[in-house]
Chain A
């Protein structure tokens, strides 16, 4: 049973550039969430996608956007990169069934983004 996968593993960008991170959910899951984890801190929720729509969003600027595809995979896009965007970006998947929600989110290994 494949877990959550993310690509790339590491990424180095310069200020002002744009970046796209990718995530494939755990088999059978239909919901993808993205989190930003700065060094020495807990993960911060960016947004969540379900049925190809953004369902919930955290306190992140519009520079952060996303997409979910029909196969439930997802992308996180960040425009106009700032030094402060350097962090580990974590993707998590879960299952929202018709009868309610399975609450456990399973995380991928993350993408380490460095902005110079």
Chain B
């Protein structure tokens, strides 16, 4: 079965500094990977996905993610963090073993951007 791990419960960064949120995955076959963000009392908002192609994926709100097959990682990055980026971030992998596009999520990483 596929799985994702987010090793950091919380990431603290100063506004204007680079932001990285880590994700590693375990799948059989080629992975379909996603990042979502969740603001308080809200649903999940799609940021970006990796299906195939370039290892650097660009997404919404200035976020990007780097796919690394050898390290089985899909880290989310933003060159210059904003206070408004403070939220809960989830990495997810799509189930490729059966009909349907079920997502398996990591436990989430809380990002706190300080002014």
Q: Do A and B bind each other?
A: yes
Complex interface: stretch among B13-21, B43-51, B62-70, B72-80 = B43-51
- The answer to whether A56 and B99 touch (CB under 8 A), given A41-B108, A42-B90, A42-B106, is yes
Residue of A nearest to B98 (CB): A56
* Size of the chain A interface, CB-CB below 8 angstroms: 29
* Candidates A42, A44, A109; contact of B43 at CB < 8 Å: A109
Question: Which residues of the partner chain A approach B58 to less than 8 Å between Cβ atoms?
Answer: none
State in angstroms the CA–CA spacing of A84 and B87 once bound together: 25
CA separation between A41 and B9, bound complex, in Å? 11
Q: CA–CA, A112 to B43, complex, Å?
A: 11
The smallest C-beta distance from A25 to any residue of chain B, in angstroms, reads: 13
Q: Shortest beta-carbon distance, B57 to chain A, in Å?
A: 13
The answer to whether B103 touches A45, judged by C-beta atoms less than 8 angstroms apart, is yes
Contact partners of A110 in chain B: CB under 8 A: 42-43
Residue A103 lies at the interface, judged by CB distance under 8 Å to chain B:
yes
Cross-interface CB contact of A104 among B46, B95, B106, cutoff 8 Å: B46
Chain B residue at minimal CB-CB distance from A90: B43
Which residues in A have their C-beta under 8 angstroms from that of B94? 103
Mark A residues whose CB is within 8 Å of B: 4, 6, 31, 33, 35, 41-45, 48, 50, 55-56, 58, 90, 92, 94, 96, 101, 103-110, 112
